[in-house]
Structure 1
Amino acid sequence: MSENRTWTRRNVLRTGGAMAGVGATAGCLGSLGSSDREAAYTVSMPPVGEVEFPGVPETWVTNNGSWADMGVALGQDPPEGVWLPSRYHTQYYDEIPDVSVDKSGMTRISDDGVDPETFYEMDGDVHVIDPNFLTNRFGDDVTESDVEDIENDIAPFFGNSIFSTGYSWHEDYPYLSLYEAFEKLAEVFQENERYEAFVEVHDEFQSNVEEVVPAEDERPEVAIMWAVESEMGSFSPYLIGEGTSFKQWRDLGVEDAFANTDVRDFHSTRGAVDYETLLEIDPEIILFRGQEAKTAEEFQDAIVSQMEDDDTARELTAVQNGSVYRGGPLYQGPITNLVVTERAAEQVYGVETELFDRQRVGDIVNGDF
């Protein structure tokens, strides 16, 4: 696919549209008179190269909650559609004053495959999706020709798959860190000052996190897996890697219980581990992904209770010590990362103090920065 992408949308940008769900005022192009917001500009990011925008996008589409959260942090309307709305965990915004997102009308892009017509129905001003994700993961549904048609008929693609480094097709171009990707999206929405305000919050947050992380020999071994309530006893293992979905665990410096074993990451093998394997490793803390829609109490009732009732699982140190927790989402943006890292610090280190200023985050989203 071409490295030089130009937005050729016939109708340029729609005007009008009100903020729906987020307690903030997005820069609606129809109400803007400043030439700096209406002038054409370009933003560059691998693998899409230089993308030209004739004006600031109003509506947008993205493939996961990482980018959706970035957009919310930048004061934008929520996206018209995401890959799987169920994995965009908007309940994290309950922690932030005056920020909320209603995803009830959000289009689910992936529905037993991907139909290119869905992009025409959503009619977004930009598709914040790595086009290689579409053509490599769903090549039977979306071809390079389909991607080019969508760009020519509707709007460009602008994305990089950042949550995991386990994709072989991503080896030809660099991954971005969470804040590198966030900065690129801020350029798209022309919200650089909001981005810089978040950088300040994040820098202070990182300093606070560093203060609560104990010496290396005092950090626990954790096992991160994907669990399904109806299939307890067989779990997909995740080794802590460089993708954004592991940011909180890297920042907290935890030890990966699988790192020095024969267990391989689910992304590379599609393998599974059972209770017997876990008992051999016996991690101090067990973290289950796929459970973020549950409250802590619901997780205890649905997941932990099954382990306590299993003859093998109840022998695990983590079960005996009450150290089985929700393991965080696959997709993290700047707001989500603050919330889940603070929660993780409490889980693994017993930290009970706030590590970031929630009111400050809400103020930035709402334009006070």
Structure 2
Amino acid sequence: MAGSSRGPTRREVLVSGGSAAGLALAGCTGGDGDGDGNGSSDDGGGGGGSYTVSMEPVGEVTFESPPERWVANNGSWADMGVALGHEPPEALWLTSRYHTRYYDGIPDVSVDTSGMTDLYQNGVDKELFYELDADVHVIDPNFLLNRYSGWEQADIDEIDESVGPFFGNSIFSQEYAWHDDYQYYTLYEAFGKLAEAFQEQERYEQFVALHEEFQGRVEEIVPPEGERPEVAILWADGDQPETFLPYLISEGTSFKQWRDLGVRDALANSEVEDFHTNRGELDFETLLEVDPEVLLLRGQEGKTASEFQDTVVSFLENDDVASRLTAVQNGDVYRGGPLYQGPITNLVLTERAAGQVYGIEEELFDRDEVAGIVTGQ
């Protein structure tokens, strides 16, 4: 077995009751659940004893103390950890898809990804999990088994037992066939699970209250259905994209802002199939047949709004076919948001999206309140 000559793992230290350095940000803990009735704590709130949290598809996971060193699948979970006042994860599937620029407008909240490790490096090396030595892996094991052919269930079991447990669910998309036979979680259901694992239920409840207030403001600015634009969400690589991957708005967390804003999906009313169905692409001619009122292009979150305008939009405006698109002619081509979002980034992205599709310029949430929750103040 890989790593069999190693000394005690962090998990063995935690299970044996050894102490660890403590969380990066001091804050209030406590509470007795995540608000959805799932999971349980043996000691009723993390006062020093072991506790168990239930997460599909891994089932019940028992913690002897709150995890400190952790690995996450993507930016959705990383953002949840930040929201809970926790140190960022040691590694992500691809760190380049965790867009920490969204934190720029929030006081005292920032994340440096330069020291993070990419789990995917032309494959996923099992030995890397030993090197990272995490207390918990916030990764859906089925993602590893189905998105990368190098892993088998025996590998999952080995890492679970020898390093640290898996504790995650692929919440960002509901289009994978392999995810049909176990529960999906909404963004806040999943957030509640991680809050239980980290024993940060009070911070979670504060975010729930903030989010409910935010949702009320969003509902107020959404116009009647007939006045909402038809949008197309497409993946577009590079500065001069000529083909696009179509994403139909679905129930995964990556579409939460668009569902909450009630936009109409232009692709849903066409013959275009979702990218997950047949891995198909659209060219300018096919897109012109659909001719959405608003184009929302993913794969562009590394750019600022002005950089996006100066590259992608400028290219479309100067292309003979693309320039005929209604969205291009009307100046309604925008960055379409990332694949992954957590509680903080969802606030930022929804507010940004409201400006894109409805022209709303006001702030829809209090940055200082978010900062106060994260920092425990």
Unpaired runs of at least 5, structure 1: 1-6, 29-34
Pairing 1:215-234 to 2, within 5 Å after superposition: 215-229=224-238, 232-234=241-243
Pairing 1:104-183 to 2, within 5 Å after superposition: 104-138=114-148, 140-183=149-192
Distance 1:243 1:358 in 2: 26
Which residue, 16, 19, 33 being the options, matches 2:21?
16
Distance 1:142 1:107 in 2: 19
Following TM superposition, by how much is the alpha carbon of 1:11 offset from its aligned partner in structure 2, in angstroms?
Answer: 2.2
Q: Is the 8 A contact 2:171 2:187 kept in 1?
A: yes
Aligned to 1:103: 113
Q: TM-score, normalised by structure 1?
A: 0.92
Aligned residues: 351
Q: Is the 8 A contact 1:26 1:76 kept in 2?
A: no
Aligned to 1:81: 91
Q: Deviations over 1:88-123 (max 9, x none)?
A: 011111121110111110011011111111111111
Following TM superposition, by how much is the alpha carbon of 1:141 offset from its aligned partner in structure 2, in angstroms?
Answer: 1.6
Distance 2:134 2:229 in 1: 45
Q: Secondary structure in 2 aligned to 1:10?
A: helix
Q: Is the 8 A contact 2:234 2:244 kept in 1?
A: yes
- Give the partner amino acid of 1:16: A
- Give the partner amino acid of 2:319: D
Q: Deviations over 1:56-80 (max 9, x none)?
A: 1111100100000000000000001
Aligned to 1:296: 305
Distance 2:97 2:170 in 1: 16
Following TM superposition, by how much is the alpha carbon of 1:176 offset from its aligned partner in structure 2, in angstroms?
Answer: 0.3
Aligned to 1:278: 287
Q: Deviations over 1:4-58 (max 9, x none)?
A: xxx9932226612673xxxx43799xxxxxx944311000011111101011111
Q: Deviations over 1:261-286 (max 9, x none)?
A: 11011111100111111111111100
- Give the partner amino acid of 2:369: R
Q: Secondary structure in 1 aligned to 2:337?
A: coil
Distance 1:37 1:76, change over 3 A: farther
- Give the partner amino acid of 1:9: R
Q: Deviations over 1:313-364 (max 9, x none)?
A: 1011111111000000100100000000000000000001010111000000
Distance 1:200 1:223 in 2: 32
Q: Secondary structure in 2 aligned to 1:11?
A: helix
Distance 2:111 2:27 in 1: 13
Distance 1:182 1:16 in 2: 24
Deviating runs (4+, > 4 A) in structure 1?
none
Aligned to 2:59: 49
Aligned to 1:32: none
Distance 2:362 2:370 in 1: 17
- Give the partner amino acid of 1:136: N
Distance 1:235 1:14, change over 3 A: farther
Distance 1:217 1:289 in 2: 25
Aligned to 1:25: 26
- Give the partner amino acid of 1:238: Y
Q: Is the 8 A contact 2:119 2:128 kept in 1?
A: yes
- Give the partner amino acid of 2:99: H
Which residue, 337, 341, 345 being the options, matches 1:336?
345
Distance 1:283 1:18 in 2: 47
Q: Is the 8 A contact 1:279 1:316 kept in 2?
A: yes
Q: Deviations over 1:186-209 (max 9, x none)?
A: 000001110000001100000000
- Give the partner amino acid of 1:122: L
Q: Secondary structure in 2 aligned to 1:9?
A: helix
Q: TM-score, normalised by structure 2?
A: 0.90
Q: Secondary structure in 2 aligned to 1:359?
A: helix
What RMSD in Å do the two structures reach over aligned CA positions?
Answer: 1.7
Distance 1:354 1:230, change over 3 A: closer
- Give the partner amino acid of 1:221: E
- Give the partner amino acid of 1:325: Y
Following TM superposition, by how much is the alpha carbon of 1:180 offset from its aligned partner in structure 2, in angstroms?
Answer: 0.2
Which residue, 68, 76, 88 being the options, matches 1:66?
76
Unpaired runs of at least 5, structure 2: 1-8, 30-44
Distance 1:14 1:313 in 2: 60
Distance 1:233 1:312 in 2: 10
Q: Deviations over 1:285-320 (max 9, x none)?
A: 000000001000111112011101100110111111
